[in-house]
Structure 1
Amino acid sequence: MTSPLPAAVLWDMDGTLVDTEPYWMAAEGPLVTSHGGTWTHEQALGLVGLGLHDSARILQDAGVQMAADDIIDHLTETVSQQLRTDGNPFRPGALELLRGLREAGIKTALVTMSMRRMADTVVSAMPFDAFDAVIAGDDARRPKPHPDGYLQACEALGVDVADAVAIEDSPNGLRAAVASGAVSIGVPLMVPLEGVGAHALWDTLEGRTVADLAALFAEHRTGDRS
């Protein structure tokens, strides 16, 4: 028997669709040091999956003497410029799975805490019409780990979140996805995701298909998390 398809698949952006976390880290370090502070790799890992205003406050604590909105603008422009120069650094298998979802007629949304102008940079460089809706950091009522972005995406798509699958790479993002009620998949990149509550942890999206998503959705949409 063919597994039922989810009504929608909701994608995180940074670290899930595109491997931009190194871009963010490359922007954060020089900003802190230019203000006389120090910034370690461990501190940078602590920002993975955080909302930008939360990240800005941590950078201020590290010595950056700028307003939070100015920090966000600086980082967003620095990362966006690298994306415009180098193109989208897709995570293995992400583009192929997304294309398969579109060909299967499944609705898709991008749910990111990055600013919309950066999301637009990524989406505009996609090689096909990839998303029916985009909820960015300046759209979400509350940042991840709150579920608002995922709930707003389902509202925009006209689907029940219980009929959706969400894909995330960070603990905060995964907490948001789980709290929303979507069937949630963790695909770790820089930080571990064990114990966060995902319905499944996949090492990679490479080789994953619509059938894999459908099977996971059918198993978990009305059951308990394993």
Structure 2
Amino acid sequence: MTRPASPPVLRAVLWDMDGTLVDTEPYWMAAEIPLVESFGGVWTHEDSLRLLGLGLDDAARVLQTEGVRMSVSDIVNHLTNEVMSRLAADGVPFRPGARELLSSLRDEGVRTALVTMSLGRMARAIVDLIDLGDGARAFDLVVAGDEVPRPKPFPDPYLQACAALGVDPADTVAIEDSPNGLRAAVAAGTVSLGVPHIASLEGIGAHGLWPTLDGCTAADLHAFHAEHVPRLRAGSAL
């Protein structure tokens, strides 16, 4: 006798950081402009869009092509220090609804991971500043850009997070705001949710695009996952 299939279960939510959890993308852009200009170049908003969701090493190489005569590691550390200085001065600028959704997931016992291309020292500094009350940890896991073999848009960061949590990618929802990040989430086999911020996410293959996380709860993500995971497991094009 064949047993009925078990209903899908959302086992973890994988969060991008910059632009998804926290609104730091403008900080990165503000750090890039004077850096390029200090070497006699010109850097526009459109130029910054090219770097959204890229690994920092890859972003640094783009800046080198624009005339920044610094090593990749020096560029990465310079930009990271500039953004961390802004965070220290201004606090954590959460995206609308992000903190509340994170708290709702923790209340429901859903595991969470932060999967970011920022350096680990910056990601963990931000996590340390997140207070959900009752001493609750904001994330079970942090996977940072300097801790993966290949950065987004490769699937490695999300696959590494799933392996560390001991979950199948199809049992997770990944939340992303950038095209490169969303490509990584789709390639990893997660149920992918795009929440556009600065760049359009149309045509990348997300299972859904929500205009905002404001007002969203763990129940909404459970329902989103249950709706889309059957087709994902069946290998249907989405």
TM-score using structure 2 length = 0.92
Q: Is the 8 A contact 1:84 1:121 kept in 2?
A: no
Q: Is the counterpart of residue 172 in structure 1 residue 172 in structure 2?
A: no
User: 2 CA distance for matches of 1:142 and 1:4?
Assistant: 30
Task: Give the corresponding residue for 1:118.
Answer: 122
Residues 1:158 and 2:166 are matched in the alignment: yes
Map of 2:27 onto structure 1? 23
For residue 17 of structure 2, the aligned residue among 13, 16, 31 is 13
Query: Distance in 1 between the 2:237 and 2:129 partners?
Result: 36
Tell me how far 1:4 sits from its aligned partner.
Answer: 5.1
Task: Identify the residue that residue 141 of structure 1 maps to in structure 2.
Answer: 149
The alpha carbon displacement at 1:108 in A equals 0.2
Paired amino acid for 1:140: V
Matched, 1:205 2:209: no
Q: Which residue of 1 aligns with 2:138?
A: 130
Amino acid at match of 1:101: L
**Match runs of 1:92-107 below 5 Å:** 92-107=96-111
1:158 positional shift? 1.3
Tell me if 1:62 matches 2:69. no
Contact 1:27 1:79 in 2 (8 A): yes
The residue type equivalent to 1:45 in the other structure is L
Does residue 196 in structure 1 map to residue 204 in structure 2? yes
Whether the 8 Å CA contact 2:158–2:188 is kept in 1: the answer is yes
Q: CA deviation at 1:63?
A: 1.0
Following TM superposition, the consecutive aligned residue runs of length 4 or more in structure 1 with deviations greater than 3 angstroms are none
Greater Rg by CA: 2
In 2, Cα distance between equivalents of 1:197 and 1:120: 30
Q: Tell me, what secondary structure is at the counterpart of 1:143?
A: coil
CA deviations over 1:88-139 (Å, ceiling 9, x no partner) = 1000000000000000000000000000011011101001311000000011
Moved more, 104-113 or 214-223: 214-223
Post-superposition offset of 1:147: 0.6
Using the TM superposition, give the Cα deviation of residue 5 of structure 1 relative to its aligned residue in structure 2, in angstroms: 4.1
1:199/1:225 contact within 8 Å kept: no
- Aligned residue pair count: 224
SS of the aligned residue for 1:191 comes to coil
Aligned mates of 1:211, 1:187 — CA distance in 2 = 17
Q: TM-score, normalised by structure 1?
A: 0.97
- What amino acid is the match of 2:205? G
* Contact 1:16/1:169 (8 A) holds in 2: yes
Whether contact under 8 Å (2:13, 2:172) holds in the other structure is yes
**Which residue identity does 1:199 align to in structure 2?**
H
- CA separation in 1, counterparts of 2:168 and 2:149? 18
Cα distance in 2 for residues equivalent to 1:166 and 1:225: 18
